[in-house]
Each structure stands twice: as C-alpha cells, then as structure tokens.
C-alpha cells in the first residue's frame, strides 16, 4: 500500500467500482508492472495527488503569517521580552 497521507486514516475501507477504457486499463497494468506496485495502489496515489490541490498542506508558520500573528509590534517598550515588570 502507498505511504500514509493526510487522506489515509484508520477508517474502514470502502470498495468502489470504476469503468476504465481498454487503453487506460492497459496503461495502468503497464505502469503497475514497471513500478512494481499494485493497480489499486496506483489508483489510490492518483486520487490522493489530485485531492491535494483542494486541501493544500500549510505549515504552522504559513498559517500564522496568513493570520497576521507574526510581525513587528510598534509602540512597545524595547525591553518587553526581558524586563520582569512587563511579564
């Protein structure tokens, strides 16, 4: 199975059935053989990669920057982080 991603949880698995064209099925089989992965693993990886565009992963830093909580404060004492009177 492919390595764990944000989409892969320990939830019960669900089976689905899809219809593939003959040419797509042949390509899938060829890539599975070349990559030594199962067809199922390749399909799951393709779906996960496609879904990542809708659920971008952001670091804590990126989220903090987006929220505007990182930056320089103005009009504060210069010893704010070292003077116990400000704690």
0.85 surpassed by pTM: no
Contacts of 28 (CB under 8 A, 6+ apart): 20, 39, 42, 43
Asked whether residue 5 is assigned to any structural domain, the reply reads: no
Asked whether residue 66 is assigned to any structural domain, the reply reads: yes
Asked whether residue 47 is assigned to any structural domain, the reply reads: yes
- Per the structure, the count of domains in the chain is 1
Asked whether residue 1 is assigned to any structural domain, the reply reads: no
Residues spanned by the domain of 49: 22-86
The tens-digit pLDDT sequence of the chain (87 residues) is: 444 454 555 667 889 999 999 999 999 999 999 999 999 999 999 999 999 888 878 889 988 988 888 887 788 888 888 989 887
């Amino acid at each position: 199975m492919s390595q764990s991603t944000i989409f892969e949880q320990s939830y019960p698995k669900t089976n689905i059935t899809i219809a593939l064209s003959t040419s797509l099925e042949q390509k899938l089989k060829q890539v599975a053989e070349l990559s030594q992965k199962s067809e199922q693993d390749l399909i799951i990886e393709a779906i996960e990669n496609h879904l990542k565009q809708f659920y971008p992963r952001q670091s804590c830093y990126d989220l903090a920057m987006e929220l505007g909580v990182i930056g320089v404060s103005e009009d504060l004492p210069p010893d704010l982080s070292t003077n116990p009177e400000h704690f």
